[in-house]
Structure 1
Amino acid sequence: MSKINIPSENGDLMLTKSTRLVGLKKRIEGKDMDEVDANVIPDLGGFEVVTLNPGQSIDDALDHARNHQDVEVGTHVYFAEGDNRPVVATGIIYCEMADGVGKEERQVIFDAFALDILEDREDGTVVCKVTPKSPNPLKVAAALDKLSMISKAYPDLDVPLDQYFLEPRDGLLPHEWHLENQGFVSDVPSFRLKVGADAKVKAAWRRLGNLGSSSIIVAVIDNGFDLNHPDLRGKAVAPLSISSNSSTLPTGSAYGDHATPCSSVAVAAANGTGIVGAAPNSRLMPLHGLTYSKYLTERMFNHCVRNRADIISCSWGTIDPRYRPGTEHERAIRLALTSGRNGKGCVVVFAAGNEGREYINYYASIPGVIAVGASTSSDTHASYSNRGNGISVVAPSDGGWPILAARAAWDQGNSAMPANKRYYVDGIDRGQNYKHFGGTSSATPLVAGICALVLSANPNLTSVEVKSILERTADKIGNTWDYNSSGYSTKYGYGRVNADAAVAEAIRMRGGTTTTTTTTTPVTTTPPVTTPTTPTTTTVPRDTTTTTTTTPSTPTAPAPAPTTPMVTGTNLFQFSVTGQARNGYGLQVSVNNEFANVLKQVEELERKYSLPVLVNISTVNGRTAFKLLIGPFSTQAQADVAKRKMVSLGAAEPWLRPLSSL
């Protein structure tokens, strides 16, 4: 299976099996193995991506590694066409059953693939997990997706997402001009900045009379937290290593260093030394592990909601349409936006991205998210910052003079540069704990810290209100023609964020001049459906010359709700009814709840496949269910011949069922 085409919410994804990389889930995380030739990625979907003995084929080497006593699971790694990022199947599969399929019926399918059910959700989604007896999860998902009993089956994948960070051109400066820009930095007088090209954070502190509230928690989701850094020490609450579901965060260069500067821009402490974040008094919720995995994405945002994060800062994402957020990704983020903070909603901030494109990070474009672009020390648009509809605001970052941020103890900087210029653009040493930083990676936690100041001023604001305040109070920068008649720009959003004006508006709204109205959506009920007391099996043969029945024009059952699907086209049928013994086999095609639709579908099945059709009437969850099957067949071999014929004519693979099971 060197290539496999798998179903995806973003269209089918063609994956090619790597000839070098595999994923290992070890019983003891990080333990060395002689079979491992090189460690490539320490954590992707819960697996350590490695290369194995180069003298063996990838299949033989993986089988050998799987037999190692320290390996719990071994899996192949894949690549999408035209992309050099490894893809790992996490072993989770999201399934949606066809209408009318009951729990007993679906269990037969899951048992056939040795799947365990992790969650049975109210919306009909069943979250499954492969077991040691299951086939490859990609194969399982592809097979499930072909079954008529299942409307969709998507394997959960993980792929490295893009961290929106710009490597220092050759270092960065110490003074935090992004908080208050006076036109210069003290030890680089030759480089001029634009007076006022800042986020007005110091002015916001003065208005508040403090540095924000210690009750506000900013969650940062990223890789590489140095929680022993002088400006972050003692600030962490509810830490989470996402893939292992552990409160212990991994450290060291193998696990990244991006999270440390991002966290410092938002909440670095005012402790008399080093730098200061936008909201120095706020606490930090560190979540280690960037992931595309749906299941792990749900875990990360659910963790933020459960542990009372107020703001969630994400300086990462993707512009690759193959890995745009799917239904479960968006549902997890929407849940945080709407149900976090006891129903007021977490404020979720995403970076627009650094690719310099005319469209933004897909995660940043999710409704309700605050999408952040970057502006420069000259109050201009940073050329690398993505543009497009969806940007809320921009915030000061690199592009003119960079900003200063915390550096993880293991961060080696730009090793291609001379030793004295690995951390600072001009080579001037400003301490081992800091570095120059930029990109939308820096702009995003700056906005997250400003949101913490806004909630410090008025903790009763909803996530919708916080986003609206930032957009309404932003300063228009750039050219007037960059904005449309509504005051919106695809370069700047609603403008450069203004912390002081945003805090002032939050204080004004705290005075009670603004109220929030809650609208309750009316519940529409569907009239009950009359159901038979005893399930029966009815055969509708192709030769329908025996009995003619006209469908009554006036229904005796209650009228359906206006949204009930109606059959169009033929509504006059000729059919005969013959009892069918529960012997032999049938090929289940679908399950339907509307009798009129059943008649129409029987007609279409007979015409297309020239095979007899069975209809089984039963009760599923209190409603009448009509199961449509091709058959009967005396033997399984006869049923297999019919199945191949149907598939060759374009049908989804039907489900073989002994009629005795109906």
Structure 2
Amino acid sequence: MSQIKIPSENGNLLLTKSTKLVGIKKHVEGAELDAVESNVMPNLGGFEVVTLNPAEDVDEALDQVRAREDVAIGTHVYFAEGDNRPVIATGIIYCEMAEGVGKEERQVVLDAFALEILEDREDGTIVCKVTERSPNPLKVAAALTKLSMVQKAYPDLDVPLDQYFMEPRDGLLPNAWHLENTGRVSDVPNFPLKPGADAKVRAAWRRMGNLGSSNVVVAVIDNGFDLNHPDLRGKVVAPLNIASGGNDIPAGSGHGDHATPCASVAVASANGSGLVGAAPMARLMPLHGLTYSKFLTERMFTHCIRNGADVISCSWGTIDPRYRPGSEHERAIRQALTSGRNGKGCVVVFASGNEGREYINYYAAIPGVIGVGASTSSDTHASYSNRGQGLSVVAPSDGGWPIIAARASWDQGNPGMPVNKRYYVDGVDRGPFYKHFGGTSSATPLVAGVCALILSANPDLTSAQVKSILESTADKIGNAWDYDSRGYSTKYGFGRVNADRAVAEALRLRSIGTTQPTQPTAPTPPVVTVPTQPTRPPVNTTPTTPTAPTTPTAPATAPSTPPVSGTNLYRFSVQGIGTAGFGLQVSVNNEFALVLREVEELERKYRLPVIVHISTLNGRTAFRIMMGPFATQAEANTAKSKMVSMGAAEPWLRALSGV
């Protein structure tokens, strides 16, 4: 996924290039283009927003359209972080030069990017527009801001303002009944669903006014990631091959295909095509490999802690008492629950299991873990979903109508079914990238995505508080007698997850400056019955207490202010120099004290000489700070390369004869 960070008046703006939408300006308005698949928006920044041939890469398709004689301009469309409204750069750039930069110097900058001046305003703002020889206006603005000669450069953007928040336009979103259930699926006319039997995810998006935060990372531990899938591409951070300890994620039928749909349910991108996950802005940390090994279990959860996972989704486990998690397994998981997220704890979500038993996956029953069961499109209990103490909530999955999810490119589908039903239960082809999916394997990443939305709304919550909010805001479904006096059910946990209510509670707590829920849900201790001849695996009533991390001893008296570095005393000598050779202009300043500090810092950091040119502009003294002098342009360029390699903004090369 192509991203670009551009300057704006409200700080840097992260834009992601759409994989489907482009902007077109035609020579003849209203003319039809056979290359256009669909018209999305008639006018945005002077462009028509359209989709092109879906079988082609968007860059290649756009290049082909640009080459047509009937097309004046073609441009990419972007999405801003946390928003699904299309963004287009109009080609206009608002620029302001640094103080002391003359018109000749300014023109050199503009000529370098082939910019044309539209207005030269009295306040110093230059309104420019790109020409046919200019690069992409977003790239021009980003490059201009790196020049010390430029004070600011903002690209002019257009975005629809008819509504504050636009929901995703992805084509399969109407099939995602688990996000919002209207009582039917658009292409399934003869299978009624129960309106409202959903996770209320789209309502949560509307409440937040966005699709969550890209600062939130969801780790999915599973086998078979197709990271080139259109809805997962470009989202990956810190991948791990659990077996090797490396970052190589194997692909192909020999490595499974389960991880791809699981990941998509949680975090599939809102990119204008395909489907959308519960938290489409969240990033994906893929961990390939399922294992009972204590050592590898420790490796996987330690990796999540060290690499910033916020939520960990696990659609796997065991009900076999021979392979129940031991103390090392539990310690690794509890370490994530308490030490992840800089001490706030990772939110850990496990599936209850699909065996239809009266006890749940041992991993899901570990205290602090969110154990997830499945409900159906009719808001009933899915018969395959395990029941029992330790279950936190249920979430929509199959058992009525299945949900739709991503499929790996090597996924062979169900070989026991006719060819047309290997991926879709009704035989209706919804494209080569997707399939019907379900089980607690699907319900679990859905809850993980909801937890990512909760943390997007309030990143200060601990893992225990996220669990409490999730349970206390769940909807009671089924019969009243399914629940005890605490509102708990071994069939539904605390109920069917409600993302909208959970997000509302997270936002409420954030607004009042506390992260403590009003009525936190206490963890449910397991109720144990061990018959003489057990019909289910026995449950450990004395879970191993993890070893508490050693708390470093705090100093007796903490300093009230951080130590101050630097000095207010300077030793310098002043020597006039000739105006021959070259300098590298770094900045222009008006305050002598700041000039002294900057000169000291530049000399210390780059080990290069520094010169200052003093002039008067509009009655004010201006100090132009430059590295140099350098006898030749080659020497100056060598120094410039050194500075840039050390992280400096690119200085401006200038002949000293012109100062």
Letter in 2 for 1:456: S
Per the alignment, residue 362 of structure 1 pairs with: 362
In structure 2, C-alpha distance between the alignment counterparts of 1:480 and 1:471, rounded to whole Å: 17
Per the alignment, residue 410 of structure 2 pairs with: 410
In structure 2, C-alpha distance between the alignment counterparts of 1:194 and 1:374, rounded to whole Å: 15
In structure 2, C-alpha distance between the alignment counterparts of 1:185 and 1:397, rounded to whole Å: 14
- Superimposed CA distance per residue, residues 75-124 of structure 1 (whole angstroms, 9 cap, x where no aligned partner): xxxxxxxxxxxxxxxxxxxxxxxxxxxxxxxxxxxxxxxxxxxxxxxxxx
SS in 2 for 1:444: helix
Q: How does 1:14-413 map to 2 (within 5 A)?
A: 175-413=175-413
In 2 relative to 1, CA 174–201 (structure 1 residues): closer, same or farther, beyond 3 Å?
A: closer
In structure 1, C-alpha distance between the alignment counterparts of 2:438 and 2:516, rounded to whole Å: 37
Deviation at 1:189, TM superposition (A): 1.1
SS in 2 for 1:417: coil
In structure 2, C-alpha distance between the alignment counterparts of 1:223 and 1:304, rounded to whole Å: 16
Contact 1:351 1:373 in 2 (8 A): yes
Letter in 2 for 1:428: V
In structure 2, C-alpha distance between the alignment counterparts of 1:252 and 1:407, rounded to whole Å: 12
In structure 2, C-alpha distance between the alignment counterparts of 1:360 and 1:325, rounded to whole Å: 13
- Superimposed CA distance per residue, residues 29-77 of structure 1 (whole angstroms, 9 cap, x where no aligned partner): xxxxxxxxxxxxxxxxxxxxxxxxxxxxxxxxxxxxxxxxxxxxxxxxx
Contact 2:173 2:275 in 1 (8 A): no
Deviation at 1:515, TM superposition (A): 5.1
Contact 2:182 2:194 in 1 (8 A): yes
- Superimposed CA distance per residue, residues 382-441 of structure 1 (whole angstroms, 9 cap, x where no aligned partner): 000000011000000000000000000000001121111110001011000000000000
Contact 2:212 2:453 in 1 (8 A): yes
In structure 1, C-alpha distance between the alignment counterparts of 2:321 and 2:408, rounded to whole Å: 32
SS in 2 for 1:316: coil
Report the aligned-residue RMSD.
1.9
Give the share of equivalent positions with the same residue, in percent.
Answer: 80
Per the alignment, residue 647 of structure 2 pairs with: none
SS in 2 for 1:214: coil
In structure 2, C-alpha distance between the alignment counterparts of 1:512 and 1:295, rounded to whole Å: 43
In structure 2, C-alpha distance between the alignment counterparts of 1:349 and 1:522, rounded to whole Å: 23
Contact 1:225 1:260 in 2 (8 A): yes
Per the alignment, residue 505 of structure 2 pairs with: 505
In structure 2, C-alpha distance between the alignment counterparts of 1:408 and 1:424, rounded to whole Å: 14
In structure 2, C-alpha distance between the alignment counterparts of 1:193 and 1:439, rounded to whole Å: 17
Letter in 1 for 2:402: P
SS in 1 for 2:187: coil
SS in 2 for 1:257: coil
- Superimposed CA distance per residue, residues 560-588 of structure 1 (whole angstroms, 9 cap, x where no aligned partner): xxxxxxxxxxxxxxxxxxxxxxxxxxxxx
- Superimposed CA distance per residue, residues 597-638 of structure 1 (whole angstroms, 9 cap, x where no aligned partner): xxxxxxxxxxxxxxxxxxxxxxxxxxxxxxxxxxxxxxxxxx
In structure 1, C-alpha distance between the alignment counterparts of 2:324 and 2:316, rounded to whole Å: 12
Deviation at 1:174, TM superposition (A): 7.3
Per the alignment, residue 627 of structure 2 pairs with: none
In structure 2, C-alpha distance between the alignment counterparts of 1:522 and 1:214, rounded to whole Å: 30
In structure 1, C-alpha distance between the alignment counterparts of 2:228 and 2:187, rounded to whole Å: 28
- Superimposed CA distance per residue, residues 499-557 of structure 1 (whole angstroms, 9 cap, x where no aligned partner): 0000000001112353569xxx999xxxxxxxxxxxxxxxxxxxxxxxxxxxxxxxxxx
Per the alignment, residue 129 of structure 2 pairs with: none
In structure 2, C-alpha distance between the alignment counterparts of 1:230 and 1:249, rounded to whole Å: 17
Per the alignment, residue 445 of structure 2 pairs with: 445
Contact 1:173 1:402 in 2 (8 A): no
When structure 1 is superposed on structure 2, of 183-192 and 467-476 the one drifting more is 183-192
Q: How does 1:568-579 map to 2 (within 5 A)?
A: none
Q: Which has the higher contact order (CA 8 A, sep 6+)?
A: 1
In 2 relative to 1, CA 180–515 (structure 1 residues): closer, same or farther, beyond 3 Å?
A: closer
Q: How many residue pairs are counted as aligned between the two chains?
A: 350
In structure 2, C-alpha distance between the alignment counterparts of 1:359 and 1:501, rounded to whole Å: 28
Q: Note the residue ranges of structure 1 that are not aligned, 5 or more in a row.
A: 1-171, 524-662
Contact 1:174 1:403 in 2 (8 A): no
Letter in 2 for 1:495: G
SS in 1 for 2:446: helix
Letter in 2 for 1:197: A
In structure 2, C-alpha distance between the alignment counterparts of 1:312 and 1:440, rounded to whole Å: 15
In structure 2, C-alpha distance between the alignment counterparts of 1:322 and 1:512, rounded to whole Å: 48
Contact 1:174 1:436 in 2 (8 A): no
In structure 1, C-alpha distance between the alignment counterparts of 2:292 and 2:354, rounded to whole Å: 18
SS in 1 for 2:461: coil
In structure 2, C-alpha distance between the alignment counterparts of 1:510 and 1:414, rounded to whole Å: 46
Contact 1:360 1:388 in 2 (8 A): yes
In 2 relative to 1, CA 457–497 (structure 1 residues): closer, same or farther, beyond 3 Å?
A: same
Matched, 1:435 2:435: yes
Contact 2:460 2:515 in 1 (8 A): no
In 2 relative to 1, CA 231–522 (structure 1 residues): closer, same or farther, beyond 3 Å?
A: closer
Per the alignment, residue 421 of structure 1 pairs with: 421
Per the alignment, residue 474 of structure 1 pairs with: 474
In structure 2, C-alpha distance between the alignment counterparts of 1:515 and 1:483, rounded to whole Å: 27
In structure 2, C-alpha distance between the alignment counterparts of 1:514 and 1:486, rounded to whole Å: 25
Q: How does 1:589-608 map to 2 (within 5 A)?
A: none
- Superimposed CA distance per residue, residues 345-387 of structure 1 (whole angstroms, 9 cap, x where no aligned partner): 0000000000000000000000000000000000000000000
SS in 1 for 2:175: coil
In structure 2, C-alpha distance between the alignment counterparts of 1:355 and 1:514, rounded to whole Å: 40
In structure 1, C-alpha distance between the alignment counterparts of 2:400 and 2:485, rounded to whole Å: 29
Letter in 1 for 2:191: F
In structure 1, C-alpha distance between the alignment counterparts of 2:178 and 2:515, rounded to whole Å: 33
Contact 2:173 2:274 in 1 (8 A): no
In structure 2, C-alpha distance between the alignment counterparts of 1:447 and 1:323, rounded to whole Å: 26
In structure 1, C-alpha distance between the alignment counterparts of 2:174 and 2:399, rounded to whole Å: 15
Per the alignment, residue 530 of structure 1 pairs with: none
In 2 relative to 1, CA 190–307 (structure 1 residues): closer, same or farther, beyond 3 Å?
A: same
In 2 relative to 1, CA 228–515 (structure 1 residues): closer, same or farther, beyond 3 Å?
A: closer
Letter in 2 for 1:511: S
Letter in 2 for 1:336: A
In structure 2, C-alpha distance between the alignment counterparts of 1:392 and 1:522, rounded to whole Å: 27
In structure 2, C-alpha distance between the alignment counterparts of 1:173 and 1:291, rounded to whole Å: 34
Letter in 2 for 1:346: C
Deviation at 1:188, TM superposition (A): 1.2
- Superimposed CA distance per residue, residues 453-503 of structure 1 (whole angstroms, 9 cap, x where no aligned partner): 000000000000000000000000000000001100000000000000000
Contact 2:509 2:516 in 1 (8 A): no
